[in-house]
Amino acid sequence: MGALKIVGGIFSLVGGVLVLLVPLAILLNIPLFDPTMLAMTYGGIHAVVPLATYINIILAALAIVGGILGMAKKRAGGALSLVAAIVWMLGMILITFVGISLIMLTPYSALLVWTGIGLWLFTIESIVVLLGGIFILAGGSD
């Protein structure tokens, strides 16, 4: 069952890195994405509420650390990954159903910026990190 923790760690790590690319591209002006697509997707949010960018950096760091701990076969990595994924998912649900006043909880998505394809309520990265956290926790005891 140790292999499941490693697979979950890889999922969490990949999801966290993909989310981390967007705020870094916004803050450091790194040309990873098409500037027009990045500005249309997240530029306005960062200009109005820069807290959204910093929240996503913290959550991406949680997912990355969770992925590294998961690959080291530690269950704590699963908990960190689950916290990050649940905050991203709850943020999107709250924005959708409560209103735009919670825009600071917007989950960033590199795949949405690159491909323009997104899911209605969740980002693909948040689902990958959630699966990674579940795999880490389901992978047996330390």
pLDDT digits (tens, 9 = 90+) for 81-119: 999 999 999 988 888 888 777 777 778 888 888 877 777
Three-class SS of residue 34?
coil
pLDDT band (50, 70, 90) for residue 132: very high
Q: For the whole model, what pTM was predicted?
A: 0.88
pLDDT digits over 7-64, tens only? 999 999 999 999 998 888 888 877 777 777 777 777 677 777 788 888 899 999 999 9
Query: What pLDDT shows up at residue 142?
Result: 63
pLDDT at 140 over 80: no
pLDDT band (50, 70, 90) for residue 128: very high
CA 27 to chain centre: 17
55-76: average pLDDT: 92
72-78: average pLDDT: 90
Query: What pLDDT shows up at residue 38?
Result: 75
Sign of the CA dihedral running 121, 111, 67, 3: positive
Query: What pLDDT shows up at residue 45?
Result: 74
